[in-house]
Amino acid sequence: GFLEDGILVRDRGRIRRRYLRSTSFPWDVAAVLPTDLLYLRLGPGVPAVRANRCLRVPRLFEAFDRRETRTAHPNAFRVAKLMLYVFVTIHWHGCLYFALSSWLGLGADAWVCPNASRPGFARPLRQYLHSFYFSTLILATVGDTPEPQREEEFLFVTAGFLLAVLGFATITGSISSVISNRNAADAAFYPDPEPVRRYLRARGAGGWLARRPPASPGNTSGNRRTANIMSIGYSDLFCLSKEDLAEVLAEFPSARAMMEAKGRELLLRMGKLDVHAEAAAAAAAEEAECRTQALETALEGLQTRAARLLAQLESSAFKLALRVERLECRLRQRQSAGGSGPA
């Protein structure tokens, strides 16, 4: 399923349409194409025809993330996942080393993988273990490998050391970060109880706590929740206030209506809902809504009248300014005509 307006959708038709329109659908189709049929023409010695299976890697990461949220030991799972990445990287690097050795010639020099004619290297397992060991020495920056003799060998060793410096340093830092986060979480959720024990011994509260009866579910000092939730694995708990919930539900009216209907049904079933009080509250809310709408209508009318009066005031001021300017112009003309006449 998927979430739509905060509601879990389980309808298969809608799920199917959403998946067909998603961006992951073409990649999933390309990943399951029967490219193995090319073996009938190319032969079994070309494993690259199955490279399209690697397009499913995002699904693997998604499965890891979901399993991490459901496991009871997330820190151990993270460390195991990082170690898996290390082994896979060494495996691929060893495969590239063997492929390069085959291209240059097995046993051509001391750097490449020995030939099958060498004693002990007739089995493929021994060749794979040698390639895996050689890649481990390079990626772990241990060294102690034969000196390269050709340009291709120099480039391969240089690329391996760069990958070790960048990639393996990141993985090692991730492991240390997981361990430090685990210690910080333990310190936050499980503090040192020794100060509490010393306080209880100093106050002599042991006997009173021992004689106090345990709280039964449902009373004032016991379980006051209306639902028991079992968490599968590690969960982060957050406190949602009533104001934040109302603000969120304002954006999802359909979910709000469904939650209100479900709450009303539960209260009716428990016999804790006063129907008359609910009707009175609904009538009061409807009356308040009508008053609010009337006030909004009156406010809009006042705003319209104020805008009209402001426009009339501006027009009258403009006309008065033009009239004063015209009178001043006539006054100046008369003064100039009187000043230029006979004395």
pLDDT of residue 200: 77
Domain boundaries, the chain: 1-70, 73-202, 289-337
pLDDT, tens digit (0-9, with 9 covering 90-100), for 21-68: 988 889 989 988 988 888 888 887 788 888 888 888 888 888 888 888
pLDDT, tens digit (0-9, with 9 covering 90-100), for 287-343: 998 999 999 999 999 999 999 999 999 999 999 999 999 999 988 888 887 765 554
Q: Which long-range contacts (CB under 8 A, 24 or more apart) does 109-118 make?
A: 109/146, 109/149, 109/150, 110/146, 110/147, 110/149, 111/145, 111/146, 111/147, 111/148, 111/149, 111/150, 111/153, 112/153
Confirm or reject CATH 1.10.287 for domain 73-202, answering yes or no: yes
Q: Which long-range contacts (CB under 8 A, 24 or more apart) does 87-96 make?
A: 89/139, 89/163, 89/167, 89/168, 90/132, 90/135, 90/136, 90/139, 91/132, 91/135, 93/135, 93/138, 93/139, 93/160, 93/163, 94/128, 94/131, 94/132, 94/134, 94/135, 95/131, 96/156
pLDDT, tens digit (0-9, with 9 covering 90-100), for 319-334: 999 999 999 998 888 8
